[in-house]
A and B are shown apart, each in its own frame.
Chain A
Amino acid sequence: MHESSYPENSIAVPDALAHLRRFPLDGALLLFDRDSGLNAFCEGSETAHLKQAAPRVVQFGITNSCNLACTFCSRDLIAKSEWTLEQAFTILADLAQLGVLEVAFGGGEPWTFPKFAELVCRLHDETPLAVNFTTNGLAMTAESLSAIRGKYGQLRLSLYENNNWRFKIRQLVESEARFGVNYLVTPERLPELERTVLELASLGCRDILLLSYNGLDAALHIDSTSALGLAKRVAVLANALKNDCQIKLDVCWGERMEDVPRLFKRNDCGAGRDFIVLTSDKKIQPCSFHELKIGVENASDIMEIWRNKQNELYAPALLPGCARTPGFGLERATTSAY
């Protein structure tokens, strides 16, 4: 199909936004600039006829290999990576052609995937995708950062007790990398939240994503009473740091974070619809915590499942912590999973 025949391309938008990539949503139009991360959500009678034609984001667990062994990690460590660089590039390039805007690599640790920097650069140079990745930073050096400079949208550093994150953040700041930090909020970490966030901001971090735990270990879940208090604290933190640092919330918090001001009021996390997960063993999932896994060979397989398996893809995950499950399924969490 010729580009001009896509209905979203005939909608007039202000000149200042005309160069952005277009992504149709149901009844709306999203414009996106992969170089800056600028998103413009347009909605009106002009966009009423539009229908979403592809997931906006592919989360790609390209390898399960990791140089850490965190107890809370959801990945299936037995599953080996079945991707070659060429296969990964091809499927992502094809998905970009079908409308996908962004890929977010995770894993495992993406830097343990052979020639990861080369894959990032090729995707940037040869496709319109925004390329993002989450890393523990241990295998990422000043040289590797330099190799992908200007080729990625944002990298996210996971904060663990054992990944020397203060050093890594200083390295990222010195390298002028565009980065954010992912921080898993657990009951044990709750008293330290403000202190940690302030320290991150003072180190030069400008973007902090607070993650909720998904898994069987009850000791790592925030109960609803604590969540209420946490939401108030996060709102104050976001306000206090509004000149310094963005505080973001992982979608799995769901209504537990109702008190925190959001850009959009959303009732659903978007798993299986807004984003899908591609695993290291060539399967897709609605999200990385979901038990549903369907094998795929190519981009057409992915799109067929995305279009035709909506009931399965939109179903809540069994793992405790899912925002689609009433009460987040916390009663299924055990006292200690490990």
Chain B
Amino acid sequence: MKIKIWNAFASNNSGSYTIVGNFSTSQLARDVATELTKLVEAHHKWIEACEGTSPLSEFAKTNGLSSYTETKYHDDWPESFSTAPEVLAIDQQVFIHHPYVITLPALFGQYFYSRGGRVEIELNHSHNPLVASFSIYVHHEKKKTVDSTSTFASILRELIAPDGPLSTGLANELAPAWKIENSGFEKLTFGACFEDLVKSFAAIEKIIANYDVRSTVQLFEAPSEKADPLLHLRQSGNTVNNSDTKTKNSETLLDTIGSFFESIIKPRKM
């Protein structure tokens, strides 16, 4: 008998189905489940105090898995007041479940493979980086009262400050990129691959909220691991951008941006 497991409640707006489901196969399922049950319970207890090395980190080290580091807000694990994830051995499958967590740390999947099992998922698994691209613009009704060029400059300064969201929390070697279009439809567009998209989004939104601007976000999967998915933002033209980002630090970039804005703000026609 084949068994598929997922988590969902009915809603008044018709049914809905999506994703979820981690399975491994092998005769070792029961043993693996027992081991992971102990691990999950130990880590869930650890979450309450967060003292010393976490059981997940220890487990990763002991079993030769990629090192595991807890995220700042432990958002890859259920809250401590909630129950621990449940580990079930079902025939030849191992299922790890929690109603509030869709995917637990990747470590579990790695462990399935290391024990000769496999992971099956319904979601298209992305191998290439996911890129977030933000566009900031001034609403047409506000154009008479908001100077978009200086506003974009201020926003950009905050974004790329040493502790800003375009300097910290980036996912890989790919440098963030931005572009300001100052003719026609004026907008600031910037993109990056973030380690934690939601956290970076919140940090960016916190900055944007201080200005009288609107924003949109686009997400896309990079076409390959090597190609620069933000090349379009690094091209020169009637723009200011960070084409030399990889060789410049944030302070130098701030200087560059400052000079650029001074040059374009001064001759602005009224």
Which of A63-71, A79-87, A229-237, A301-309 interfaces with chain B?
A229-237
Find chain A residues with CB under 8 A from B216 CB. 191-192, 194-195
What 0/1 pattern do residues 278 to 290 of A give for CB contact below 8 A with B?
A: 0000000001100
B217 nearest CB across to chain A (Å): 4
Answer whether residue A2 sits at the interface, using C-beta atoms and an 8 A cutoff: no
Choose one: B123, B125, B197; the contact of A198 (CB below 8 Å): B197
Which of B98-106, B140-148, B241-249, B256-264 interfaces with chain A?
B98-106
Do B89 and A236 touch (CB < 8 A)? no
Do A199 and B201 touch (CB < 8 A)? yes
Find chain B residues with CB under 8 A from A101 CB. 10
For the residues of A in contact with B, the DSSP-based class is: mixed
**In the complex where A206-B100, A242-B103 touch, is A132 in contact with B9 (Cβ < 8 A)?**
yes
What 0/1 pattern do residues 23 to 60 of A give for CB contact below 8 A with B?
A: 00000000000001111111111110000000011011
Answer whether residue B7 sits at the interface, using C-beta atoms and an 8 A cutoff: yes
On chain B, the number of residues with a Cβ less than 8 Å from chain A's Cβ atoms is 53
Answer whether residue A274 sits at the interface, using C-beta atoms and an 8 A cutoff: yes
Answer whether residue A106 sits at the interface, using C-beta atoms and an 8 A cutoff: yes
Answer whether residue B254 sits at the interface, using C-beta atoms and an 8 A cutoff: no
Find chain B residues with CB under 8 A from A270 CB. 14-15
A201–B73 Cα distance when bound, in Å, is 14
Do B124 and A37 touch (CB < 8 A)? no
A72–B161 Cα distance when bound, in Å, is 44
Do A269 and B20 touch (CB < 8 A)? no
Choose one: A104, A191, A252, A266; the contact of B17 (CB below 8 Å): A266
Nearest to B134 among chain A residues (CB) is: A195
Please provide the chain B residues from 124 to 148 with a CB less than 8 Å away from any CB of chain A in the complex. Answer: 124-126, 130, 132
Find chain B residues with CB under 8 A from A243 CB. 75-76, 102-103
Nearest to A61 among chain B residues (CB) is: B12
Do A250 and B3 touch (CB < 8 A)? no
Nearest to A134 among chain B residues (CB) is: B12
B66 nearest CB across to chain A (Å): 16
Find chain A residues with CB under 8 A from B18 CB. 238, 246-249, 260-263
A130–B90 Cα distance when bound, in Å, is 24
Please provide the chain A residues from 248 to 268 with a CB less than 8 Å away from any CB of chain B in the complex. Answer: 248-252, 260-264, 266
Do A37 and B99 touch (CB < 8 A)? yes
Please provide the chain B residues from 94 to 115 with a CB less than 8 Å away from any CB of chain A in the complex. Answer: 97, 99-100, 102-103
Which of B151-159, B218-226, B231-239 interfaces with chain A?
B218-226
Nearest to B88 among chain A residues (CB) is: A16
A258 nearest CB across to chain B (Å): 13
A220–B154 Cα distance when bound, in Å, is 37
What 0/1 pattern do residues 132 to 167 of A give for CB contact below 8 A with B?
A: 111000000000000000000110100000000000
Please provide the chain A residues from 81 to 106 with a CB less than 8 Å away from any CB of chain B in the complex. Answer: 101-106
Beyond contacts A42-B1, A241-B197, A243-B76: 10 other A-B pairs, Cβ-Cβ < 8 A, are A43-B3, A133-B12, A134-B13, A178-B99, A236-B220, A236-B221, A238-B18, A239-B124, A262-B17, A270-B15
Q: What 9 pairs across the A-B complex have the smallest Cβ distances? A: A106-B12, A44-B1, A248-B16, A154-B9, A202-B202, A134-B12, A153-B9, A194-B217, A102-B10
B contact set with A: CB distance below 8 Å: 1-21, 75-76, 81, 88-91, 97, 99-100, 102-103, 122-126, 130, 132, 197-199, 201-202, 205, 215-221
A contact set with B: CB distance below 8 Å: 14, 16-17, 36-47, 56-57, 59-61, 101-106, 130, 132-134, 153-154, 156, 176, 178, 180, 182, 191-192, 194-195, 198-199, 201-202, 206, 209, 211, 233, 235-252, 260-264, 266, 269-271, 274-275, 287-288
